[in-house]
Structure 1
Amino acid sequence: MDGVMELPMKAGTNMKVAGKTVYVFVLLSITMVMTLAGNNIVMTVGNSSILTCPFKGQISMLTWTITPKVGCPCALVYRIDTNMTHRTNCSDNINWTFRAGLAPALAIRQVEIAQEGNYSCEAASTDGNFHMMYSLTVLAPPRLSLYCDEQGSPVCKAVAGKPPAQLSWVPESSSTAEEKHQDNGTVTVLSKFTACSTNVTSVTTCMVSHPAGNWSQSIACCPSKKTSFFLHAGIITCVLIIITLLAAIYCFKLHSDRPCHKTKPSEIAPIHSQQLKRSKYESAISQDDTMEVEPYTTYVQKENVIYNSVSDLTVGQNLPQDLCPET
């Protein structure tokens, strides 16, 4: 009977041990999940906050490790037994804060964008080691700027916001916003009002939506008459230049496609060949006539020379002409 009674007692003891084991495992799992997930903290640039590290028992040392998204990590260590603090690569606005009856905590004063990142603490106490991690997100509210451009159109600008601001117009506009990213993680958003109607003298309102707050501002812009005149004149000039170029190109192509001669080549060729043959024939006849006339001309010239010589001789001797010798 004693052996029979011992079996249920051992089984109950084993069940209690197994239950405690499962309970410890669940606690460890929850602690690990909390350590990995951490707590999300959202702060606005210039604000302050205090981060605490939970623990049990009598604390002996407390350590904070800060890992920013940009830059080198920093660490703060505080030893309770010696009342000594140590810091490495930490900004002046991050330091210990001591409160009466409470454990030391981490104070962040006038937070900056560069201090966005993970903040983890580790506390060593008589009951063990305790961990906690915070994920810090820093918001930068944009600076609203609303003005009229050279064409007289309203322009809304949300400068250096983090995250980017959302812009909208009243009355509704069909314009799209442009984003310009800065090196420090902020974004400037610009939107130009495009009126859906011709009533451009009405008051327009720019509305800015951001996690750090909402803002709105109104303005009334008048279109610039000088700018509109030059704009229309430029458009008309460009249209006239294009039309002139197209007309010149069309005329050039039209004249280049036409033949060079106005009359038909088939009618000109026979007439030209007949005229050429006729001119050759007339030149040949004139040459023959010249050759026939040349002997007679030579003979006449010789007779004239002889006659002149006899006349000169008669005159020189003063002879009467009836006494001249016959030739």
Structure 2
Amino acid sequence: MLCPWRTANLGLLLILTVFLVTEAERAARPNDSLILHHSKENVALASSSSCMDETQITQNNSAFLTEANTSWPILMGKNAVLCCPPIALKYLIIITWEIILRDQPFCKKAYKKETNETKETNCTDERITWVSRPDQNPALQIRPVAITHDGYYRCIMGAPDGNFHRGYHLQVLVTPEVTLFQSRNGTAVCKAAAGKPAAQISWIPEGDCVTEQEYGGNGTVTVKSTCHWEGHDVSTVTCHVSHLTGNKSLDIELPPVAGAKKSAKLYILCIILAISVLIIVGFIWLLKIGRCRKHKWNKTEATPVEEDEMQPYASYTEKSNPLYDTTNKVKVPQALQSEVETNLHAV
């Protein structure tokens, strides 16, 4: 069984140990008044176009930021503001910007607080300047950003407790000019010209493609993709260009493939041939009908007409009238007949 006074002594000893460890850590830290509070807000502001000032300084610093490097892609033609580390300006001794650009000499911009003077070394680009007076805002600005501003920018802030750094790997982006056209041999060509960095080209549907890249002297890249869909019944294709500055899609209609063209021509030829045969057969049939009618008409005109046919009523009267019937003659008395015969003999 534990005694109450022993338990209390153990608790006091534990509290004293924690207090001593906390004080030792606090004594080992540098002067907190020089460092800005490293919160999520400060990180967001550091990546934005506006810089922090002394009103954001807090005495309760929870992180010790000595150096930071940021990769910053920015579109050509925009304005850029590069910020220094979040250090209270009243504690600064010197501010230096080091600028390393491609194919250009090392540039250095410095401000010395003691003499309140600025100095530049090998800095010839007039678009890279201080945002305002260095003693008020040590940030650097680029107005506007060009391809030649690709490079590394570092702000060094000298204070009694040491130097603090913040660097930027500035990557200037250039939007490519996208075109889609059909070549003479029937293939489709998609071109993303003068982009930075190089664009990615894909096709819908996928075909047999060849992609080429052409590098410009200013760091831009032209990508050309040539595709054909031999043996596939494809009427419309889509070229999709992916780039850091945004994506773009273009459509184009393709003519029928060679096999389809041949089949269509053969089909049309068969239809024309069938129509021609029908016309010829119809013409021959009409010609035969005309000849038959003419022959029949001539035969009808050459046949003689019988008298009985020309005088049907007279013939009918003669044959049907008893007066003209030779087989049914009227009988004469015999005495009269003898007398007639005697007279005939006498004559």
TM-score category of the 2 structures, normalised to the smaller one: 0.5 to 0.7
- Contact 1:44-1:140 within 8 A present in 2 as well: yes
1:158 to 175, 188, 192: 192
- Contact 2:98-2:109 within 8 A present in 1 as well: yes
Quote the offset at 1:210 in angstroms. 0.7
Task: Please name the residue that 2:117 is paired with.
Answer: 84
- Residues 81 and 195 of structure 1, relative CA distance in 2, 3 Å threshold: same
Where do 5+ consecutive residues of structure 1 fail to align? 1-7, 230-327
Could you tell me which amino acid in structure 2 is paired with residue 132 of structure 1?
R
- Root-mean-square deviation (CA, aligned residues, Å) is 3.9
- For 1:274-289, list aligned pairs within 5 A: none
- Contact 1:61-1:77 within 8 A present in 2 as well: yes
- Residues 142 and 106 of structure 1, relative CA distance in 2, 3 Å threshold: same
- Residues 199 and 103 of structure 1, relative CA distance in 2, 3 Å threshold: same
SS at match of 1:207: strand
CA distance in 2 between partners of 1:18 and 1:192 (Å): 69
CA distance in 2 between partners of 1:16 and 1:23 (Å): 11
Could you tell me which amino acid in structure 2 is paired with residue 104 of structure 1?
P
Quote the offset at 1:86 in angstroms. 2.6
- Residues 21 and 175 of structure 1, relative CA distance in 2, 3 Å threshold: farther
Percent sequence identity is 36
SS at match of 2:81: strand
- Residues 223 and 180 of structure 1, relative CA distance in 2, 3 Å threshold: farther
Task: Please name the residue that 2:82 is paired with.
Answer: 51
Pair 1:212-2:218 in alignment:
no
SS at match of 1:71: coil
- Contact 1:62-1:121 within 8 A present in 2 as well: yes
CA distance in 1 between partners of 2:135 and 2:155 (Å): 20
- For 1:190-201, list aligned pairs within 5 A: 190-195=224-229, 197-199=231-233
- For 1:24-173, list aligned pairs within 5 A: 31-32=65-66, 35=67, 37-53=68-84, 54-58=86-90, 59-80=92-113, 82-90=115-123, 91-98=125-132, 102-125=136-159, 129-173=163-207
- Residues 18 and 196 of structure 1, relative CA distance in 2, 3 Å threshold: farther
Quote the offset at 1:102 in angstroms. 4.6
CA distance in 2 between partners of 1:78 and 1:52 (Å): 15
SS at match of 1:19: helix
- Residues 141 and 88 of structure 1, relative CA distance in 2, 3 Å threshold: same
Pair 1:19-2:25 in alignment:
yes
TM-score normalized by the length of structure 1? 0.55
| Structure with a larger share of its residues in helix | 1
CA deviations 1:155-204 (Å, max 9, x no partner) are 0011122222111122332313222233333222111122155435x232
Task: Please name the residue that 2:236 is paired with.
Answer: 203
- Contact 1:206-1:218 within 8 A present in 2 as well: yes
Could you tell me which amino acid in structure 1 is paired with residue 71 of structure 2?
N
Greater mean alpha carbon deviation, residues 13-22 or residues 73-82: 13-22
Task: Please name the residue that 1:261 is paired with.
Answer: none
SS at match of 2:78: coil
Quote the offset at 1:224 in angstroms. 10
CA distance in 2 between partners of 1:99 and 1:87 (Å): 14
CA deviations 1:256-301 (Å, max 9, x no partner) are xxxxxxxxxxxxxxxxxxxxxxxxxxxxxxxxxxxxxxxxxxxxxx
Could you tell me which amino acid in structure 2 is paired with residue 158 of structure 1?
A
Quote the offset at 1:63 in angstroms. 1.4
SS at match of 2:247: strand
CA distance in 2 between partners of 1:83 and 1:204 (Å): 64
Where do 5+ consecutive residues of structure 2 fail to align? 1-12, 31-60, 263-347
Number of equivalent positions = 215
CA distance in 1 between partners of 2:181 and 2:81 (Å): 40
Quote the offset at 1:51 in angstroms. 1.0
Task: Please name the residue that 1:296 is paired with.
Answer: none
- Residues 30 and 177 of structure 1, relative CA distance in 2, 3 Å threshold: farther
CA distance in 1 between partners of 2:149 and 2:213 (Å): 24
- Contact 2:188-2:227 within 8 A present in 1 as well: yes
- Contact 2:93-2:159 within 8 A present in 1 as well: yes
Quote the offset at 1:125 in angstroms. 4.6
- Residues 173 and 99 of structure 1, relative CA distance in 2, 3 Å threshold: farther
Quote the offset at 1:206 in angstroms. 1.1
SS at match of 2:137: coil
- For 1:172-183, list aligned pairs within 5 A: 172-183=206-217
